[in-house]
Amino acid sequence: MVSARRAAVFLDRDGVLNRAIVRDGRPYPPASVAELEILPGVPQALARLRDAGLLALVVTNQPDVTTGKTTQAIVDQIHDRLRDMLPLDAIYACTCVEGPGCDCYKPRPGMLIRAAAEWGVDCRRSFMIGDRWRDVGAGRAAGCRTIFIDYNYAERRPDSPDFVAQDLGQAVDIVLAAHNEV
């Protein structure tokens, strides 16, 4: 059993680490590695988390695998590229579609709870950063503080995130200020 549980930052993928493809005001994942574009400042923001001793754990819904809009191989290629380009500790992906048989499709907290158990993370000391209401919901359900990166998508807004940021760099500023208070 882990005696001193760590703090972590759980990160959504599309719209947080890489540019989401926005169509009709709604965000979508890149369809290939060629479409993958790391957002400005992301490598530096993640390096700051690592320097502070915080884990960077990606938790991403990828239902397009199940619906046939993409393949597991393409999702794996994108994740391999992210691992090559960014200081990430782990990537967790749910390929389910929302429904009663899945506890990991955000806003359900299953991916965060699994990652926390595997990495010895205390969710109460941790943050969830995302650009959609589902991310904020999953973070809250897991007991994390939440940061919503607001791109004004044409979709449901999150219910009461703890913080709102313009990008990952600003979100990391919030995380580090809170982490340094402890």
Active-site residue list = 12, 14
3-class SS shares of the chain: helix, strand, coil, % to 5: 35, 20, 40
Whether the Cβ atoms of residue 155 and residue 133 lie closer than 8 Å to each other: yes
Number of DSSP helices (H) and strands (E) in the chain, helices first:
6, 8
Helix (H) or strand (E) holding 45: helix 42-51
C-alpha–C-alpha distance, residues 109 and 9, integer Å: 14
